[in-house]
Amino acid sequence: MNTRTLITGAHVVDPSNNRDAILDVLIDGDTIAQIAPVVEAPPGTNTIDASGLVLAPAFVEIHAHLREPGGEASETIASACHAAAKGGYAHVFGMPNTTPVCDSPMGVRYVIDRAREASPVHIHPIASVTAGMSGERLTDFHALLEAGAGALSDDGLPVADAGVMRLALRCAADLGCVILDHCEDMSLTGDGVMHDGPHAHRLGLPGIPRSSEAVIALRDGLLALETGGRLHVCHVSTIDTVEAIRWLKSRGAPVTAEVSPHHLTLTEARVGDYDTHAKMKPPLCEERDRVALIEALEDGTLDCIATDHAPHAPGLKAQLFDRAPFGIIGLETAFSVCHTAFVETGRWTLGQLIAWMTHKPSEVVGQRWGRLDIGAPADLVLLDASERFTLTQGHLGSKSVNCPWLGEDLVGRPVATIVGGRVAYGEGAFA
Ligand SMILES: [Zn+2]
């Protein structure tokens, strides 16, 4: 874009600043210079008419799997950036369960450098809690944070040993960072591949009991309460975990939590006839769990939406259900899926959904992103909230297509993503 760009006539939805009106937005270089009902453009300003579109802070993703290094057949940092830009994201946190595991300052810098070459989208590597994600010896949190790690997590695996997790949370308390927790007791999960319920029994598949998630969420929440270390519970999937977090928060534990678009909209029934695009961890649960997750997000027990974007190359997902890997992609579809399910139906306002995808996840990781502040980086997304479309592979940006919503009719879609004043993805006047 030009040095100065004026976006006129958009419906600006900026929940953290209580903006919800037709406004003009002036971008000067890489920052937001002015937001007002009418902005007089200085000479030489490039003006774009965005009437009919929603303009919001670009989204913030705190839980994605970028797969590089080691899993480039499924995703690269560049393709993940493309997926993020198509989904409206300016900031993406990448989990460390790559090959090798991101457990060294060198590994952290590798991800940052690759991302800078690839895209204006900001990629923040998350470093592992334990060396090699072995669950045994803590990594050097201080050195990893100094190198640029945005948080710490062994996501994909739990930190099985409670003593190791307690020590990790004590370090997190000292350093003021957050640990993102994949809550799963592997001794309960065993060889389970889907929720332990009637559908697993019908399909003859080994089930994952609901206790597997809740017992670790409660255990680690108690450790956070005891140590003062900040704990963020990833991908909450059951009513039991919701109740555990509600109780922990009532006790003042420094705990936050996220929920994924798929757990908000799908249940175990989606597995249907062994559809591997409905195989994920934690597994899709029952309708009463789904309802509890929606209510918990609405009442603040859950803090934000995160996708757990987990690309797997087509060959991997084409295997038998019990052999296929867990996970689906989500960056490109998060807004559309949630908008269709909850905003189009009148349950949520657009502002609620945008808050859960912008400044709320940003606060979890201690940042002030996801807000249209004057003088802040010009990170914004243009949304066509009324567009009705059928989701096709053309809407995706990932190298992988493991998406359960392909072929479904959705309403509302990001049409441009601007990061630091640069167009990361754009259609129409933003192309
Ligand atoms: Zn996980």
Distance 32 CA to ligand 1 centre (A): 35
Distance 11 CA to ligand 1 centre (A): 35
Predicted pLDDT at 1:
55
Residues lying with their CB under 5 A of ligand 1, a single-atom ion: 155, 182, 234
195 strand-pairing partners: 208
Predicted pLDDT at 6:
97
Q: Which of 37-46, 220-229, 234-243, 380-389 has the lowest mean pLDDT?
A: 37-46
Handedness of CA 327, 195, 127, 337 (dihedral sign): positive
Distance 39 CA to ligand 1 centre (A): 45
Which one is catalytic: 308, 322, 379, 409? Answer: 308
Residue in the block written with tokens 């409660």: 218
pLDDT digits (tens, 9 = 90+) for 288-344: 999 999 999 999 999 999 999 999 998 999 999 999 999 999 999 999 999 999 999
Residue in the block written with tokens 């999960």: 189
Whether the CB-CB separation of 50 and 5 falls below 8 Å is answered with no
Predicted pLDDT at 52:
97
Distance 234 CA to ligand 1 centre (A): 6
pLDDT band at residue 2, thresholds of 50, 70 and 90? low
pLDDT digits (tens, 9 = 90+) for 33-81: 999 999 998 899 999 999 999 999 999 999 999 999 999 999 999 999 9
pTM over 0.95: yes
pLDDT band at residue 107, thresholds of 50, 70 and 90? very high
Active site annotation includes 308:
yes
| CB atoms near residue 428 (< 10 Å) | 12
Q: Using H for helix, E for strand and C for coil, what is the string for the chain?
A: CCCEEEEEEEEEEEHHHCEEEEEEEEEECCEEEEEECCCCCCCCCEEEECCCCEEEECEEEEEECCCCCCCCCCCCHHHHHHHHHHHCEEEEEECCCCCCCCCCHHHHHHHHHHHHHHCCCEEEEEECCEHHHCCCCECCHHHHHHHCCCEEECCCCCCCCHHHHHHHHHHHHHHCCEEEECCCCHHHHCCCCEECCHHHHHHCCCEECCHHHHHHHHHHHHHHHHHCCEEEECCCCCHHHHHHHHHHHHCCCCEEEEECHHHHHCCHHHHCCCCHHHCCCCCCCCHHHHHHHHHHHHHCCCCEECCCECCCCHHHHCCCCCCCCCCCCCCCCHHHHHHHHHHCCCCCCHHHHHHHHCHHHHHHCCCCCCCCCCCCECCEEEEEEEEEEECCHHHCCCCCCCCCCCCCEEEEEEEEEEECCEEEEECHHHC
Q: How many CA atoms lie within 13 A of 140 on its CB side?
A: 11
Q: Which domains does the chain have, with CATH numbers?
A: 4-55+376-430 (2.30.40.10), 58-364 (3.20.20.140)
Q: How far apart are CA 354 and CA 373, in angstroms?
A: 15
Residue in the block written with tokens 């996801």: 370
